[in-house]
Amino acid sequence: MSTTSNFPFAFSVAGGDTASALAAGCPVVLKAHSSHPLTSLRSFEALSSGLAGSDAPAGTISLIFGQAAGSLLVAHPAIKAVGFTGSLAAGKALQNVINDRDEPIPFYGELSSLNPLVITANAAGARSAQIAHGLFTSFTGSAGQLCTKPGIAFVPTGEAGDNIVEVIRDLVEQAEGQVLLNRRIFDAYQEISQRLINRGGAVVAAHTATATGGFLATPTLLTIKATHVTAELTEECFGPLIVVARYENLAELDDAFRQLPNSLTATVHVEEDEPELLTELTDQLAPRSGRIVYNGFPTGVRVSWAQHHGGPWPATNSLHSSVGVTSIRRFLRPFVWQDAPQSVLPEELRDGPVAVPRRVDGRIILPAEG
């Protein structure tokens, strides 16, 4: 299981992958991220201390360092599943290592996501300033280094849509530089930004004066006509950048959607008086995402029963969520004892009262019910 640089706690050594694997009864071996090796080590030490105080078996959790060690770990026959949050290229490299194993194992990767956001004309007319401020906050929060950051927003033509773009432009021009996590992310932000312009045809509508020092990046607003959206324009750019695509009608939206890669999220801003449009947009975006957000913004992922933090490839390669209660399913292996005598069954499956909830003939039975 590999740690991540953009979430050194929530998705790293002490993060949800580790918690769900431990809850499933699996020992965990983690690879520390090169961007925060000491944070990884301190987190590991804290977990190790807690496990020792709980009389957990030795080796319940382990930590390794280095990319080469990570590849060897994934190839080791004792490893039975891999969780990973990172780039599409790194995910493919890990999958190639798994493919060369004698025994294939599950690879649960969260990889790449553009997260389209659509604003209807009525929504733009009703609350242009509110949407603009929320969208700016969403694509620049944490320096745009969130996996659910909206990377492309479809804004209607006309005065209301112009107002949204103008507000975002003003906010971008007033914004200060933000620190990206490491040299690789910083260099990629610069390179992909230029590709979106040079190959994708986007126009720089606003850009903060160039920041200097360290890995400072400045927010960027690119614009383009929806009819000009191509695959070259839909590359994920990790950092505080957004592409605003201006559309005139639903036919233009439909054509542009066909160019989009699948994502973790899709967002719709719509008014109550357009239910048919809402249904149509939902039907178009649902096959392309794992979660649809209505009249909100996708950044931020709640750990809850109903959460699904996943999406069709290349957002993830799994049907299971990496966040929320059901994330434990990634590290469970189904097994059936058919017509088994009571003596060979685990205690939780035997007849009579047990100390854990069970599902019997489709109905959940709590311990108090017997």
* Crossing angle between the packed helical segments 159-174 and 121-140, to the nearest 10 degrees: 10
Peptide bond into 314 cis (omega under 30): yes
Task: Give the start-end residues of each E strand in the chain.
Answer: 28-32, 61-65, 82-85, 107-110, 116-119, 152-156, 178-179, 203-207, 216-217, 220-225, 241-247, 263-269, 289-294, 358-360, 363-365
Q: Which of 245, 270, 261 is nearest to 126 (CA)?
A: 270
Mark 231-247 as b/e (b = at least 16 C-beta within 10 Å). Answer: eebbbbbbbbbbbbbbb
Q: Give the position of tokens 């891999």.
A: 82
Residue 96 · residue 231 · CB < 8 Å: no
Cα 155 to Cα 139: distance, rounded to the nearest angstrom: 15
CB atoms within 10 A of CB 153: 27
Is 147 noted as a catalytic residue in this protein?
yes
Q: Which of 226, 224, 302 is nearest to 265 (CA)?
A: 302
Is 26 noted as a catalytic residue in this protein?
no
Cα 311 to Cα 321: distance, rounded to the nearest angstrom: 9
Cα 226 to Cα 271: distance, rounded to the nearest angstrom: 22
Active-site annotation holder among 110, 236, 237, 252 = 110
Active-site annotation holder among 147, 236, 237, 252 = 147
Q: Give the position of tokens 């005598």.
A: 341
Q: Which two tokens stand for residue 284?
A: 């178009």
CB atoms within 10 A of CB 314: 19
The residues carrying an active-site annotation are 110, 147
